[in-house]
Amino acid sequence: MDLDLNWMAWTWQTAVFFLTILTFLISMTIWCVVSPQVPRKGILRFETTRGDRLFISLLGSAFICLGWLGFIGGPLWGALGVCFIYAGSVFRWV
Amino acid sequence: MDKPFNNKAWFLVLPVVILVAFSAVIPLMTVVNYSVQDTFGNNAFFWVGTEWFQEMITSERFHNSLIRQFMFTGIILAIEIPLGIFVALNMPKKGWGVPVSLVLMSLPLLVPWNVVGTIWQVFGREDIGLLGAALNGMGIDYNYTQNIFDAWATIIAMDVWHWTSLVALLCYAGLASIPEAYYQAAKIDGASRWATFRYIELPKMQRVLLIAFLLRFMDSFMIYTEPLVVTGGGPGNSTTLLSIDLVKMAIGQFDLGPAAAFSIIYFLIILLISWALYTIMTNYDKGESK
């Protein structure tokens, strides 16, 4: 099959980006089926489920990347590292 | 209560998910694709990476629109919420006044945005508009097309005119749900008018106020038509709010890449604030039911 990448102006980079998020969603769903999620209260003092924590991680990561671009500038590999540390702490403590 | 979630019901919303994906999610992906590329038209795109994001996040133009947007939203919220509460407290509670005031209050909400803009655009003109002519007749130099303060005052007055009713109606609904016994108890205790408001009416209105706040925040943060019709973003760029600036960039200048980066940052800010307000709202409900 011949994939037309001009349609919607796709690039392999953005495709990888969306596929990564899709993978997150699918694996979270599988994780949820294997061990059902129970809400818990973390350092933010309100109940979150694993799905909420994924959302907080992704949204926060977006702002980390924007901040990195604003204060340090591209490329974003360093920011990606910070994002993983941030997401890890969100899943651990929030 | 530690009840595990059962997500099987999500399959029932699959048709909606497909529809929304088609109409919203996939177009949004196109914006992401545009934001990392440059184009000279003819559907030819060149990879530029995060350049547009860096340009936007450090651009004075974006900062200024963002500051103006927060100022606008902040000012209208600071006026509409207290004013809406005040109006709701003074609306008649029984008798013929109830339907009359309810209908009168809902009238501005039924007027479309561009019509509200046109009404105020004409209303404020110094040659044919009642407001403009009256103010100038009284010796106040009012001209919303040339004076920055006048332009701001006009669009804020317009938004207050258009949307205070929504806050007032929501608060009125909140007030209507307070049983009479609460007021009687307050009277027996000799509570002042302020104490009744502070400890009975305000807590009972808190939920609807949060909803009103969220609705007014989101709506004013994406406001486009009204200021565009009245001031067109001027004088200069003084009333160019985020959405007006975005449309100028995307359609006026046809800078698809920067505009896409702009709209993604815009979207992220709205997502963050809406999520925060939503979280406060839902957790407030949980706190109440316990």
Q: Do A38 and B43 touch (CB under 8 A)?
A: no
| Binding-face residues of B in 52-91 toward A, CB within 8 A | 53-54, 57-58
Q: Which pLDDT belongs to residue B290?
A: 44
Chain B interface test: which of A45, A46, A50, A65 (most B C-beta within 10 Å) = A46
The domain segmentation of chain B, as residue ranges, is 63-267
Query: Using 50, 70 and 90 to split pLDDT, how confident is the model at B110?
Result: very high
Let me know how long chain A is. Answer: 94
A66 vs B49, B265, B283: nearest CB: B265
Query: Using 50, 70 and 90 to split pLDDT, how confident is the model at B79?
Result: very high
Nearest CA to CA, how far is A11 from chain B (Å)? 7
Question: What pTM, to 2 d.p., does this model score?
Answer: 0.84
Which ranges constitute the DSSP H helices of B60-147?
A: 60-90, 97-110, 113-123, 130-137
Region B218-245: what's the mean pLDDT? Answer: 87
Q: How far apart are the C-alpha atoms of B118 and B14, rounded to whole Å?
A: 42
Q: How far apart are the C-alpha atoms of B17 and B163, rounded to whole Å?
A: 32
Region A52-65: what's the mean pLDDT? Answer: 92
Query: Using 50, 70 and 90 to split pLDDT, how confident is the model at A6?
Result: low
Q: Do B36 and A49 touch (CB under 8 A)?
A: no
One of 3.30.360.10, 1.10.3720.10, 1.20.1250.20, 3.30.450.30 is the CATH number of B63-267, namely 1.10.3720.10
Q: Least CA distance to A71: which residue of chain B?
A: B58
Q: Who wins on pLDDT, A76 or A5? A: A76
Contacts of B218 (CB under 8 A, 6+ apart): B270, B274
Query: Using 50, 70 and 90 to split pLDDT, how confident is the model at B239?
Result: confident
- In a 13 Å sphere around the CA of B40, the CA atoms on its Cβ side amount to 1
Nearest CA to CA, how far is A29 from chain B (Å)? 9
With residue B13 as reference, give the H or E element that holds it: none
Contacts of B236 (CB under 8 A, 6+ apart): B148
